[in-house]
Amino acid sequence: MRRTNFKSSHMALSASIMALSLAVATPASAQFLTGKVTDSTGQTGFQGAVVTIDGTNRSTTTDRFGNYRINNLLPGTYDVTVSYIGASNVNETVTVPAQGADLNIVLGNQVDFIDNVIVVGTRAAQASAINQQRAADSIKTIIDSDGLGNFPDTTVADSLQRAVGLSVETDQGEGRYVSIRGINTDLISSSINGVRTPSPEDRRGVLLDGVPSDLLDGIEIQKSLTPDVDADSLGGVINLKTISAFDRKGQFVRGKIEGQYNEITDKISPKATLTYSNTFNDIFGMALSVNYQNLNIESHNNETGEWALDDDSGLFFVADDYEQRWYDLTRERLGLVANFDFRISDNTDLYVRTLFNQYTDDEVRNKFEFREFDEEIIAISPTSVSIRRGEVDAEARKREEVRNIETYSIGGKTELDKWNFDYQAAYAYAQEDDSNNHDVAFRSTPEQRDSDIGSITLDYSDPQQPVISGPALDFLLDPSNYELDAFEQEFTTNEDTELSAQFNVSRDSLLGDTQVVWKAGMKYRDREKVRDQNLVFYERDDVNMADFIRSDSEITNWRLVNRMFEWPDANLTEALRGTFTTDELQEDDSFLESTLGDFEINEKIFAAYGMGTFNVGDATIVAGVRLEQTNVDLMGNFVEEGSTDVTLRNVSDDYTDILPSLNVKYDFTDKVIGRAAYYAAVVRPSFGDMAPNAFLNEDRDEIELGNPNLEAYGADNFDLGLEFYPTSLSVISVGLFYKDIANAIFPARFDVADVPDTVDLSFLPAATLAGLDEITTSINVGKSELYGVEFNYVQNLGDLSEALDGFLFSGNLTLTDSESTLPDGRVVPFLKQSNAVGNIAIGYDKGPWDLRVSANFRGDYLDGLEDEDLDRITDDRLLIEASAKYKFNDNIQVYVEGKNLTDAPEYYYFGDTSRLSQYDEFGRSVVIGARLTY
């Protein structure tokens, strides 16, 4: 990747004008062949079908609706072949007159839509995904719904973890953040119908656990970028496609209702979806979908704060706290899609795409925290630590967090002979509202610290479930021995708003006998990220916890070793809201926390590109360059502990990136395809990392600050792959990838004498700067590398043996490795990057039955940097799931699904699996539902 410092967009405009000039200079020809590839009923079109003019190098692939167009044909009679994996080739003959011709083509058996195996069911979804991947000019992974828009998973993140090279980071047992090829979620991008998805958090990574998969028609993961795609991704782009009325012909109604039972909550969580679409005279179409879910989750957790090395014994021990946490939460999801399509003429289609998603996380959390294991130590052994006395905090939090994600776009496309124009204007908005909550902490009373009540021992022979014992437990398990320590309320919002507009133009032409599509375009994005953090802290004497507990407060279904209580009761402590006086307000802490987290960032990006798609014999070459100019304005606060003074910091920056790319696809035979790709990418720093906030501690010798001088990540990405399609519904593929990454961003801590020039301290007064000893911030490091290999095998087993007719197999494995060198010389892998990710599934789809058993494996990964031997690691995890669907008739299907069938926990550790960081259990779940289709 090459970076310049141009202050204008002249080069971007020049690139677009050059590409258009080349297109205009190409000789013209008016003949064309258009049509649609559908099933026998004409109800649904096939995307990814390859339409070839035999005896020529002229071919194209069908779009989402099954439409195709081949330009620059001389008048005459042609043999046309349509290839679609999962169906036999179709051969047609057509005569193309001077004004062009239409040819509609039918694939599949002559059966009803509901029974067509390449239209409906797991087999259909598999066939559609394979065909789209095969037809793509870049490297893509597709997850498709079946012809009735059915996805196998609850959320987008759950569906994505089955794709080649993808893994998810979970929260409360549900997939939340997605990684592509070991690149974490902040370094990849996602979009909804081509509109960049905003983030409701103070980061770039997008939470995908809130978006219900029932609102989608397909998911596309583009792993090698072309110049017409936003270049802000090191791993790839995830594009979520919602339903369209023209996905199928005529009226379509689908209703789903289900209940999910979890063995820990012992409750049934309802979910319902209603989808309606219709087309009117092939001119106007509307598609509406609403989804609602009320999911009950209960999780049981224990964790430690940190470990340390004892100098005397040479043993690692728990040096801070041991916590037990009980979560009882309800996640309510409401999703709405309203899409409209207008075919206002033979050559112009317009659309309106809207998505609204609201996610409400209503949580109660109780925490029992044994504190200060590094104080008054009695003994340390390889598997335990004992201290003279114990000090415990009993905390309750009641929180309602509401997240909204909205995208609205209006656009269209126009075809004028060989010219194609598409255009879009969009508005995207995300908000996280964390303003309805309170957090209360009670602490064991002072007499515990003044009396000899006995010792506490933490035994971690079983590192995932340590055991607390000792004479002090009798005192600590008496709720009357706890008094109010602190009461906290939060009123914080994050908002992310983006306005965008884009215009693209392409033209079919010939260079000699070479078919070429020239394309150029421009895009403007204006993004504003605002965080308004507000916390209020209170203290009050003589408030005893015994007044805020129930008699039945012990959690009887608790899965971990030590007893756990709902102490205090969060519903009872809620009565404390609004009762505190100004004398009880902790002004310094409230001011500090309410000021330090605020920031506002405005980011404007202008992009332009030029590219060509060349069909040269058996090769398809996509080559071009994209230019992105970035202007960013940042605002944050400088706060000194113990002071109420705030210094506003404003920083601006602008830079330009020139980003070439090349994608090559080569058809060795009709069954073997080779691919090679190179693209340059740029990912701007995380908002939280570059916000110009700064905090000076009370001793005035340490400062923590964001770094607005951070360079954007840059990467040169290389791919090489081979695909083999041995039978009618199968693919075997292998791919190699390598990423040469510059300016990776990591947290760092420096002595003041070693601070690099890229950390700006000039805003500090000279006296303050002179007294500094240590600086904590984020910095760019030098070269980083990531490389790996992907394997994928999908097979219709009936092609191998008639006895296996109806059986399907799929399996994939991605192996990766990476390294970055930190400022202290330590070499570490990329954050969140698993060395191994894999999936395997066996299915049966025949007659009324649609069955599947699947396993998903995610290897361990670096979750956070601590010290060389104590970095936080997320342990590997294997999930087993199964589903069974039975179709009574064309309209009614019932299903049952089992999730997390082996009751796999989540485990995190510090440096070694013997050192607990966090352990969570979520239990098994069973889903029972029914689907009604008309």
pLDDT band with cut points at 50, 70 and 90 for residue 449: low
Nearest 10 degrees: Cα torsion 770, 776, 782, 783: 180
β-sheet bridge partners, residue 397: 365, 439
Predicted pLDDT of residue 151:
63
- What pLDDT, on the 0 to 100 scale, is given for residue 682? 96
Q: Tally Cβ neighbours within 10 Å of residue 826.
A: 12
25 token code pair: 């200079």
pLDDT-derived band at 57, boundaries 50, 70, 90: confident
Does position 731 have pLDDT exceeding 90, yes or no? yes
The token pair that represents 97 in the structure block: 């007159």
Residue 402 has pLDDT above 50, yes or no: yes
In this prediction, residue 112 has a pLDDT band, given cuts at 50, 70 and 90, of low
Give the H/E segment covering residue 881.
strand 877-887
- Residue 414, Cα to own-chain centre: how many angstroms? 33
At 150, is the pLDDT very low, low, confident or very high (cuts 50, 70, 90)?
low
Strand ranges for 822-875 from DSSP E: 827-828, 836-846, 849-858, 861-864, 872-874
The secondary structure of 220-264 as a DSSP string is: EEE-S--TTS----SS-EEEEEE--GGGBSS-EEEEEEEEEEETT
Q: Which of these, 754, 895, 688, lies nearest to 122 by C-alpha position?
A: 895
Ordered by start, the domain boundaries in the chain are 31-150, 154-242, 853-934
How much of the chain, in percent, has pLDDT values that exceed 70? 94
pTM: 0.91
Rounded CA gap, 551 and 49, in Å?
Answer: 66
Please give the CATH superfamily to which domain 154-242 belongs: TonB-dependent receptor, plug domain (2.170.130.10)
Torsion of CA 906, 912, 915, 920, to 10 degrees: 0
Arithmetic mean of pLDDT, 495-504: 97
pLDDT(450) > 50: yes
pLDDT tops 60 at residue 756: yes
- The stretch 778-796 carries a mean pLDDT of 94
Quick check: 675 and 723 in contact, CB under 8 A? yes
Closest CA to 49 of 32, 33, 64, 70: 64
CA distance 700 to 680: 43
pLDDT at 750 over 50: yes
Q: b/e for 94-119, b at 16 or more Cβ within 10 A?
A: bebeeebbebebbbbeeeebbebbbb
Say whether pLDDT at 802 is over 70.
Answer: yes
What is the Cα–Cα distance from 770 to 898, expressed in whole angstroms? Answer: 62
* pLDDT for 149: 57
Who contacts 405 (Cβ-Cβ below 8 Å, separation ≥6)?
197, 198, 200, 210, 211, 355, 356, 357, 359, 429, 430
* Whole-angstrom distance, CA of residue 521 vs CA of residue 515: 20
pLDDT digits (tens, 9 = 90+) for 178-213: 889 988 888 999 999 999 989 988 888 888 876 777
Reading phi first (left if > 0) and then psi (alpha if -120 to 50, else beta), residue 115 is in alpha
- How distant, in Å, are the alpha carbons of 119, 324, 746, 892 from that of 889? 16, 50, 57, 6
Residue 156: enclosing H or E segment and its boundaries? helix 156-160
870 close to 306: Cβ distance less than 8 angstroms:
yes
pLDDT score at 28: 41
Burial class (CB in 10 A: 0-12, 13-18, 19+), 759: middle
Check whether 25 has a pLDDT greater than 80. no
pLDDT exceeds cutoff 90 at 532: yes
Q: Residue 111: what are its φ and ψ, rounded to 5°?
A: -135, 170
- What's the whole-number mean pLDDT along residues 136-154? 77
* pLDDT above 90 as % of the chain: 74
- How confident is the model at residue 313, as a pLDDT? 93
| Statement: residue 18 has pLDDT above 50 | no
- What would the two tokens of residue 98 be? 């001077």
Does the fold of domain 154-242 match that of domain 31-150? no
Q: What is the mean pLDDT of residues 301-314?
A: 95
User: 32-38 and 101-102 as β-strands: parallel, antiparallel, unpaired?
Assistant: parallel
Contact 83, 52 (CB under 8 A): yes
Q: Letter for the amino acid at 606?
A: F
Other CB atoms within 10 A of residue 421 CB: 17
Per-residue model confidence (pLDDT) at position 37: 94
* Residue 48 reports pLDDT greater than 80: yes
Residue 191, SS3?
strand
- Looking at domain 31-150, its CATH architecture is Sandwich (2.60)
CA distance 817 to 365: 37
* Confidence category of residue 113, pLDDT binned at 50, 70, 90: low
- Residue 777: beta bridge partners? 748
3-state secondary structure 542-606: CCEHHHHCCCCCECCCCCCCCCCECCCCHHHHHHHCCCCCHHHECHHHHHHHHHHCCEEEEEEEE
- Picking from 48, 63, 221, the residue whose alpha carbon sits closest to that of residue 132 is 48
Contacts 24+ apart (CB under 8 A), 545-549: 545/394, 545/442, 545/479, 545/480, 545/482, 545/483, 545/484, 546/479, 546/480, 546/482, 547/572, 548/442, 548/572, 548/573, 549/479
Lowest-confidence segment of 316-330, 524-538, 553-567, 748-762 by average pLDDT: 748-762
More confident residue, 168 or 80: 80
Residue 199 CA to residue 405 CA, distance in Å, equals 8
What is the reported pLDDT for 43?
Answer: 79
pLDDT over 80 at 547, yes or no: yes
Least confident stretch, 2-16, 469-483, 785-799: 2-16
Instruction: Supply the mean pLDDT for the chain.
Output: 91
Nearest to 196 by CA among 612, 662, 684: 684
Q: Which of 47-51, 211-215, 363-367 is predicted least confidently?
A: 211-215
Residue predicted with more confidence, 248 or 33: 33
Contact call for residues 565 and 555 (beta carbons, < 8 A):
yes
- Any idea which of 101-105, 414-418, 839-843 has the lowest mean pLDDT? 414-418
Dihedral sign (CA 158, 162, 163, 166): positive
What is d(CA 840, CA 811) in angstroms, rounded to the nearest whole number? 4
pLDDT of 213 reads 77
Phi then psi for residue 452, to 5 deg, are -90, 85
Distances (CA, A) of 16 to 4, 87, 787: 18, 41, 33
d(CA 557, CA 554): 9
With a cut of 80, say whether residue 15 has pLDDT above it.
Answer: no
| Whether pLDDT at 16 is above 50 | no
Report, as an integer, the average pLDDT of 816-830: 91
Query: Which phi and psi (to 5°) does residue 722 adopt?
Result: -140, 135
> What was the pLDDT predicted at 905?
96
| Partners of 286 in beta bridges | 278, 340
Based on DSSP, count helices (H) and strands (E) in the chain, helices before strands: 9, 55
Strand ranges inside 417-541, DSSP E: 419-444, 456-459, 467-469, 482-490, 492-511, 514-532, 535-538
| Selection from 718, 602, 610, 726 nearest residue 664 by Cα | 718
Q: What is the pLDDT of residue 111?
A: 65
| Segments in 430-508 forming alpha helices (H) | 446-450, 473-476
Q: What is the pLDDT of residue 259?
A: 96
Residue pair 638/657 in contact (Cβ under 8 Å)? The answer is no
pLDDT value at residue 6: 38
Reduced to 3 states (helix: H, G, I; strand: E, B; else coil), residue 126 is helix
- Which range, of 5-19, 347-361, 880-894, averages the lowest pLDDT? 5-19
- Tell me: pLDDT of 752 over 50: yes
pLDDT at 794 over 70: yes
Confidence band of 17 (pLDDT split at 50, 70, 90): very low
pLDDT-based confidence at 277, cuts 50/70/90? Answer: very high
Sheet with 456-459, strands from edge to edge, namely 377-381, 384-387, 456-459, 467-469
Lowest mean pLDDT among 111-120, 387-396, 728-737, 788-797: 111-120
pLDDT tier for residue 5 given thresholds of 50, 70 and 90: very low
Residue 517 has pLDDT above 80, yes or no: yes
- In which residue are the tokens 């008309």 written? 934
Nearest to 36 by CA among 120, 90, 102: 102
